[in-house]
Structure 1
Amino acid sequence: MAKRKRRVFTPEFKADAVRLCKSGDRTIAQVANDLDLTETALRAWVKRADAQAPKSATSNELTTPEREELAELRRKVKRLEMERENLKKSSNILREGEHVKFAFIDVEKTFWPIQVLCFVLGVSRSGYYAWKARPKSKARTSDEKLATQIEASHKRSRGTYGSPRVHRELRARGIRVARKRVERLMRQQGIAAKRKRRFRRTTDSKHAHPVAANLLERRFDVDLPNTAWVTDVTYVWTLEGWLYLAAILDLYSRRVVGWATSETNDRELALQALRSAVNSRKPPTGLLHHSDRGSPYASADYRAGLERHGFVASMSRKGDCWDNAVAESFFATIKGELIDHENYVTRACAIASIADYIDNFYNPVRRHSSIGYVSPIEFELILLQSNKLSA
């Protein structure tokens, strides 16, 4: 068999081969196979290139914005390592800190060359590839699977759930997991609930209408549906101007039983919400109807509407928002989970968005902490089912 003729490679060829190895897309073995080289020779070229390159060369070639981004990378990794400083050391060959760095490189390699990331984090490229090739531990595999389920649950909640509701959602789907583990994985994946802005009141209590006594007295937990309702009004900004939203909630299940919108905050808006609630629930006489002291609810027309249906009026004390906390909590929720994150061009767009949130998410899906982390509709169905079983 003829001996293979010794090949001579130019410095440019060697440099390009080393660049392919350092690009992070392929391993040294893969590059060697693609270029018809021996892996030993290619590794020697890479090692020689690393030795010849000044230690600060990678950093010096960076622009100021790139240095700032690298500094941010260092800060991120430091935070990740601090979160794990109380964990026991891994029984694996790798230290916990190295595992964190390699995992971080694996995520960020889409945006930065692996060589740069390894330089910034103070680890070797060979160490990263060895970590990459090592079979995943059972704990890591389990965490990755659970992280996918957590992300899916968060998406189903329209990005509104924090760790308590995500934990309940997973448990409801038969996934047994500790809440602290859910918190840790959500923190690592950067998954968080939408933040709520400070809620502002719209009540105008400066009027001459008669005011009802506070009969509810903050007794927000009732035993049956259609025993007590609470109502309030809030505002929504659109590019066409303000849109006002009136809503009525059943205290038993926290379900929105009626709502209406209007360009003006007046008694007709409040009456539309009342008609909506009565038509959908057909409650018995004697129902306790609680509101703030706003002029729409104290008006003669609204009081007449309550009397016509046999409802008993109750109003919050002056300047005490806690007396109507359930209604205000709903508005804080819908603003924090929906309205504050939207830019409505028209009032019609806002109305459609609100209808979708209430009818397709809040009432049938969203888990409410005060009723055992089930949805309002599910809470009412549980009551109906228990009544059938006891009958």
Structure 2
Amino acid sequence: MSKEHELSQRRQCTLLQLSRSTLYYQPKGESAANLRFMEIIDKQFMETPWYGSRQMARHMKRQGHKCGRHRVRRLMRLMRLVPIYQEPNTSKKHPAHKIYPYLLKGLAITRPNQVWCADITYIRMERGFLYLVAIMDWYSRKVLAWRLSNTLDADFCVAALKEALATYGPPEIFNTDSHTIGASSRMV
């Protein structure tokens, strides 16, 4: 946009479909208080990289700074600070779930379809986790079936098991970690 142009600035803005306030906008830098907060956030983030905006705001409050969560979130985004997410705990046993005896101790595995195993692991993504269940034959180490899910419910485990059963028939022994997959009544 030019002030010296034969068209008025109003007409130029209309033709470009811009509001006239765009012409007069002057970007402002961060205030001195925000710069001080950013320095404190950066220093604390180096010590505790798992702190998100809520935990960081609580830390700031404990230190005596008047800085709300949304302000902290905006400043963390501005500095491109992304917390390291805490890993999901897939290994908690529920006290009501029955624990089955471990049948594989000392067992010689000599043929395919004798023993299958199932395990769940998580895959870190940009915004959380995906859970992967794999059904494997212990003898051949072949992955018989697998599924991904964004929740730790039993449906995707059951789907993987059904696929393996439909393709390879039932194994003599199906081994799980006994508290995550095997705890579901649909798997037993």
Scaled by the length of structure 2, what TM-score is found?
A: 0.48
- Higher Rg: 1
Indicate the structure with greater strand content.
2
Return the structure number with greater relative CO, CA threshold 8 A, min gap 6.
2
Scaled by the length of structure 1, what TM-score is found?
A: 0.24
